[in-house]
């Protein structure tokens, strides 16, 4: 994995040493309005990040790519992640500290990750599953060229009630 420059942001391959800074980011209750929950402790997060440094799922079939997002003041403000599967498919997710919402920084970070996935990981199909009420996330994806997947794809991806699958096909530039 490489460091990615994304405008004013830097995306750094996530390592265990990022846990201290990311624990502060991930303790922000606003980011759990629609799903998930904060890490139970710093030790838990450090162990989790150490495990993720393998960059692979336990069965070795998926690449798990995680980058933390840094602003020029050197603060960490969130992460972007991709699960790269076979046949050029990847699922993406992202979280940004609420103090930084609404400044296009989420879009900037996700767009830079997508470029990296297309250029260096042979990704062609991109997916994201989100809660239907998560309008900020939906807007971010729409602005990046994602659209709601066809009903049969929603079924294949085991999308749960209240969730929506968004997808985008990408061309190598």
For binding to ligand COA (CB under 6 A), which residues are involved? 31, 34, 93-96, 101-107, 128, 130, 134-137, 139-140, 143
Give residue 112's Cα distance to chain centre. 11
Report in angstroms how near the CB of residue 93 gets to ligand COA at its nearest.
6
- Strand intervals (E) in 60-162: 63-70, 76-84, 89-96, 125-131, 147-148
- Rounded to whole angstroms, the Cα distance separating 152 from 144 reads 23
Report in angstroms how near the CB of residue 143 gets to ligand COA at its nearest.
5
Q: Of the two residues 50 and 139, which places its CB atom closer to ligand COA in the complex? A: 139
- Rounded to whole angstroms, the Cα distance separating 170 from 66 reads 20
**CB-based closest residue to ligand COA:** 106
Q: Residue 138: enclosing H or E segment and its boundaries?
A: helix 135-143
Report in angstroms how near the CB of residue 103 gets to ligand COA at its nearest.
6
- Taking residue 57's Cβ as centre, other Cβ atoms within 10 Å add up to 12
Return the bridge partners of 126, or none. 90, 168
Q: Of the two residues 120 and 143, which places its CB atom closer to ligand COA in the complex? A: 143
Q: Of the two residues 43 and 133, which places its CB atom closer to ligand COA in the complex? A: 133
Q: Of the two residues 21 and 54, which places its CB atom closer to ligand COA in the complex? A: 21
Report in angstroms how near the CB of residue 60 gets to ligand COA at its nearest.
26
């Amino acid at each position: 994995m490489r460091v990615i420059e994304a405008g004013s942001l830097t995306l750094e391959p996530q390592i265990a040493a990022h846990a201290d800074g990311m624990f502060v980011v991930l303790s922000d209750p606003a980011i759990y309005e629609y799903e998930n929950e904060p890490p139970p402790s710093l030790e838990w997060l450090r162990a989790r990040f150490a495990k993720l440094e393998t960059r692979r799922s336990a069965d070795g079939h998926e690449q798990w790519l995680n980058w933390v997002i840094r602003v020029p003041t050197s603060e960490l403000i969130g992460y972007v992640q991709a699960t790269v599967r076979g046949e050029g498919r990847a699922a993406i997710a992202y979280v940004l500290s609420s103090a930084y919402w609404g400044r296009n920084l989420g879009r900037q970070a996700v767009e830079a990750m997508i470029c990296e996935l297309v250029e260096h990981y042979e990704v062609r199909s991109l997916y994201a599953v989100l809660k239907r009420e998560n309008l900020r996330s939906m807007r971010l994806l729409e602005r990046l060229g994602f659209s709601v997947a066809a009903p049969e794809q929603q079924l294949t991806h085991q999308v749960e009630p209240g969730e929506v699958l968004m997808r985008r096909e990408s061309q190598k530039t």
